[in-house]
């Protein structure tokens, strides 16, 4: 027989899963890229599911850059042989125009769609254009759908081997700094799933990141509803949630709860943003996919609004400064996150010491 807390967890999981699944069914699982000549993709940070899990193979005991392929004169595909991930992992790197001196690095985490070929920050958020005149290296993750960019306890048959925290926080930064003249100062940004991942990385790796920007995320994995949300994200991508942090009572869930460990963020520059879920400037008649943005992205953003407010209140109660932008309107969709990239930049740039 389930305990009272077990019943709460089951109900929370069922409600969150039903909301995510019903949204995907009712409005179509959004695509990362549109077909040639077709309508633009739905911009809710989701997709129609991951491809096959990345195959693994024995890698060198020390991480190294395997090879680099240019996309253009400033944007590169960088392939890293990762012992933690047991495969060669692609990231994309955008270099500044002026490469004459060392510079900070900004790491950009995707939402739960996380295409194996690109990152929605460039495909939908146009971050490559935004950073064109910024004096920073920018690293875009590639792949990792529904992974929360964290270290999983077990490989997953559908989602593969996920040891993202080790890869992103320990293996990758020294390689990026050495190859692309990084100065050791870092920021991390994310949207939706990637927002929670960015905040988890920041408190779990307190010496690595100077600044964090998190847009439309939830940050309380240790709570019943927070765990239910994370499990629903994994399950809707056909993964097994227990492979991430174990059974529901496993202490690993609490160990990744940002709100619970908020004091570890002291001294960092933090920018949080979220909409209300009500239709806004990007959700008007005639806008492509407006029905999905409002019907699916509206309720999702309303939920992340409550999550963001809870973390903001917690940080302020601890005396930790935070810049929080609560928009009166706006859905869970990429046009708003593209706006927030520009709005958050003065806060992040100031912490990095750049313009």
pLDDT in tens, 162-207: 999 999 999 999 999 999 999 999 999 999 999 999 999 999 999 9
pTM, 2 dp: 0.89
The reported pLDDT for the residue numbered 123 is 93
Rounded CA gap, 166 and 171, in Å? 6
Query: Nearest-CA neighbor of 211 among 156, 269, 169, 158?
Result: 269
pLDDT in tens, 10-25: 443 444 444 444 444 3
pLDDT in tens, 250-297: 999 999 999 999 999 999 999 999 999 999 999 998 888 888 889 989
Q: What percentage of the chain exceeds 70 in pLDDT?
A: 85
User: CA 132, 170, 253: angle at the middle one, nearest 5?
Assistant: 105
Q: Where does residue 316 fall: left (phi above 0), alpha (psi -120 to 50 degrees), or beta otherwise?
A: alpha
Query: Nearest-CA neighbor of 243 among 305, 322, 150?
Result: 150
Determine the average pLDDT of the residues in 121-138: 97
Q: How confident is the model at residue 59 (pLDDT cuts 50, 70, 90)?
A: confident
Residues 26 and 296 sit within 8 Å (Cβ to Cβ): yes
**Neighbour count for residue 106 (Cβ, 10 Å):** 27
Determine the average pLDDT of the residues in 63-83: 97
Rounded CA gap, 156 and 211, in Å? 31
Residues 138 and 126 sit within 8 Å (Cβ to Cβ): no
Helix (H, G, I), strand (E, B) or coil at 306: helix
pLDDT in tens, 329-355: 999 999 999 999 999 999 999 999 997
326 pLDDT more than 60:
yes
């Amino acid at each position: 027989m389930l305990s009272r807390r077990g019943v709460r967890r089951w109900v929370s999981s069922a409600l969150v899963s039903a909301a995510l699944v019903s949204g995907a069914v009712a409005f179509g699982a959004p695509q990362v890229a549109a077909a040639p000549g077709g309508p633009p993709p739905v911009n809710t940070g989701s997709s129609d599911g991951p491809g096959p899990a990345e195959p693994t193979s024995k890698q060198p005991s020390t991480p190294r850059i395997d090879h680099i392929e240019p996309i253009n004169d400033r944007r590169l595909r960088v392939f890293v042989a990762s012992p933690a991930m047991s495969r060669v992992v692609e990231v994309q790197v955008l270099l500044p125009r002026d490469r004459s001196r060392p510079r900070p690095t900004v790491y950009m985490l995707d939402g739960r769609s996380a295409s194996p070929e690109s990152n929605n920050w460039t495909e939908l958020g146009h971050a490559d254009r935004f950073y064109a005149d910024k004096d920073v290296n920018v690293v875009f993750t590639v792949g990792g759908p529904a992974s929360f960019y964290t270290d999983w306890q077990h490989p997953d048959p559908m989602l593969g081997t996920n040891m993202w925290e080790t890869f992103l926080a320990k293996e990758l930064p020294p390689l990026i700094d050495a190859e692309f003249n990084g100065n050791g100062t870092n920021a991390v940004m994310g949207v939706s799933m990637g927002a929670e991942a960015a905040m988890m990385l920041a408190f779990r790796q307190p010496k690595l990141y100077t600044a964090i920007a998190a847009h439309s995320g939830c940050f309380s994995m240790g709570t019943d509803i927070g765990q239910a949300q994370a499990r629903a994200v994994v399950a809707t991508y056909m993964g097994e949630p227990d492979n991430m942090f174990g059974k529901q009572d496993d202490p690993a869930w609490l160990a990744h709860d940002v709100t619970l460990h908020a004091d570890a963020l002291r001294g960092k520059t933090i920018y949080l943003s979220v909409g209300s879920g009500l239709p806004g400037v990007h959700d008007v008649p005639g806008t492509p996919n407006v029905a999905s943005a409002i019907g699916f992205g509206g309720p999702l953003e309303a939920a992340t609004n409550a999550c963001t407010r809870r973390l903001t209140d917690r940080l302020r109660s601890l005396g930790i400064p935070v810049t929080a932008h609560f928009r009166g309107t706006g859905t869970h969709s990429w046009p708003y996150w593209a706006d927030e990239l520009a709005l958050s930049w003065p806060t992040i740039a100031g912490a990095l010491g750049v313009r």
